[in-house]
Structure 1
């Protein structure tokens, strides 16, 4: 492509739009199923249960330490399938491109998306592009639909959670939220902390053989505390989190202390929260710790009989209630 920036003509259905699709999207996302000449695609499918999810991505800035909106769109989509007990297979992609975006930046994001898809074992099989006028978008917005096949044999939902069950987290929390904030260079802060954005399927697949596995969730917007509240409200039980066991990187905690954030409410994009029977928790933790993404995994709490609330037990032995998130501490992080 000879153009250096996106224009409205790149979305008018003509030559420039065709070149944009063929020379950027199809070039980097190429796979046997993707056909840019058709408006629909046919996917091979077995008799297994089909699992579907949909998501949107409006992160600002488009690129941040450890990822970008392209890789994030893949990770966010496959992770929603993975925690539902599915093996991710296919993704459709809608790209809303703002007039004036540098084509070199767009290509960089698509290449990152292609690499993330390859690593996650999924194919982008269909898509659409739209160009919006300058000032009407954030450079690039992405919308995805993900398809997978269910491989879990047990039910993974709130109704299976019981009092006494243990709560596990696969790694340190708050990294993604702080990485995006530092990329904005707000408050004059800089750092080398990287987002945790990654495909979590290896983590979820490792837990599926456990008969005591009750539920899994990726703690994105609202972070760990919000997932804890969702579990508590759905089950009617209290959720007790042990603060000393929750993995938080020192750099994340330092920034949070400086700016008044709580890392328990910050988004993660490559972590799994799992609820599992207490007698299987240690074995599940040991398996997670053998995986590259699970080396900082920890048992961080348990489900307790009582009315719905989330309790944080501190290192000094005190307890405090974690309130539900109301304000958005870091908007446009995913």
Structure 2
């Protein structure tokens, strides 16, 4: 096996077959992928089920960081996007854009990480693609994943479903991923270890839906963080949302890093957290379901949905620890480049 990626690995010939067989197939190929066809043949949904479909691309730098790598991020990101609809993620595709000279051992490490988290999530990597670009024309590796899930009849989640009186929950501490990536990129050191929160949350979502049938929607607060996510939900539903600052879970090390760097932790990216809006009578059940899952131990009820004033439109408010209230805006511009 070659030690670095070469242009021939994207040529469609014997070198490409070798990298597919010895890297991708060796790491995560199942029955569908091993057939080697141009399209995977998959089981159709049962009667009454629907399909949920999502796709995402990942360009994070560095490729490896505490708590994960670009491969784990790619699988978790697409699994979570599909699961926010209430669907059960089933199948993933994976496309690699590799730069000539990228170490094969690093590629194997990424693929092994993808296989591990796909197994945890219960999804199958069933088809993919590989392209190689000239040295200096990429950043080592970019990954695209697309996911398909099955959605049972009667499940209808979405931001437009939020209603006044509903409660807003988060599944854990905020800002972990964005600050971890920044600390790695800038070689910053902190007394406490920082680690990305990248995680597959499809099982947590299924457990919340089982416990809280009045769940309105899920949304993963990735780029733009909690602030941007809540503004999106408020706009979709034509409501206001008020968040209690003291109720938002944040690790002291992350808050300290944000204070030092001048970031608002509510605008920092997360890759293993979920925002959930539920009917008020189901809030406690949803919270208990989150906390029973290993990825939701720090879950909290952080706010409430209310009527918006028609003359000014939907707003998100933060009730501060000092008793004041301020508008919580969406992120403007790019705060943390290349975080996913």
Distance (Å, rounded) in 1 between the aligned partners of 2:272 and 2:38: 32
Decide which moves more: 183-192 or 8-17.
183-192
Distance in 2, matches of 1:191 and 1:6, equals 37
Match 1:285 to one of 287, 296, 310? 287
**Counterpart in 1 of 2:85?**
84
- SS of the residue corresponding to residue 304 of structure 1 reads strand
Question: Relative to structure 1, is the Cα distance of residues 211 and 189 closer, same or farther in structure 2, using a 3 angstrom cutoff?
Answer: closer
Quote the residue 2:208 is aligned against: 207
**Secondary structure at the residue paired with 1:135?**
coil
> SS at 1:34's partner residue?
helix
Q: Which residue of 2 aligns with 1:33?
A: 32
Q: Is 1:276 matched up with 2:282?
A: no
Query: Do residues 182 (structure 1) and 190 (structure 2) align?
Result: no
Q: Tell me, yes or no, if structure 1 residue 15 matches structure 2 residue 14.
A: yes
C-alpha separation between the residues in 2 aligned to 1:96 and 1:59?
Answer: 13
Moved more, 283-292 or 183-192: 183-192
Alignment of 1:156-195 (within 5 A): 156-186=157-187, 192-195=193-196
Which residue pairs with 1:73 in the alignment? 74
Mark the runs of 5 or more structure 1 residues left unpaired by the alignment. none
CA contact (8 A) 2:53 2:149 kept: yes
Q: Which residue of 2 aligns with 1:114?
A: 115
Kept in 2, the 8 Å contact 1:182–1:190? The answer is no
CA deviation map 1:81-117 (0-9, x unaligned): 1111011110011100011111111111111111111
Alignment partners' CA distance in 1, 2:245 and 2:120? 33
Give 1:333's aligned residue: 339
Q: CA deviation at 1:190?
A: 8.1
Query: Could you tell me the TM-score, scaled by structure 1's length?
Result: 0.96
The answer to whether the 8 Å contact 2:61/2:338 transfers is: yes
Q: Runs in 1 of length 4+ with deviation above 2 angstroms?
A: 151-154, 185-192
Extract unaligned runs of 5+ from structure 2: none
Q: CA deviation at 1:166?
A: 0.4
CA distance in 1 between partners of 2:289 and 2:208 (Å): 8
Q: Distance in 2 between matches of 1:19 and 1:211?
A: 49
* Distance verdict in 2 for CA 1:246–1:229, change over 3 Å: same
Deviation (angstroms), 1:171:
0.3
| Aligned residue pairs, count | 333
Provide the residue aligned with 2:252 in structure 1: 250
In the alignment, what sits opposite 1:49?
Answer: 50
Q: Choose which of 214, 227, 230 in structure 2 pairs with 1:228.
A: 230
Counterpart-to-counterpart distance in 2, 1:129 and 1:329 = 31
Mapped to 2, the partners of 1:204 and 1:191 lie a distance apart of: 30
The CA RMSD over aligned residues, in Å, is: 1.4
Q: CA deviation at 1:35?
A: 2.8
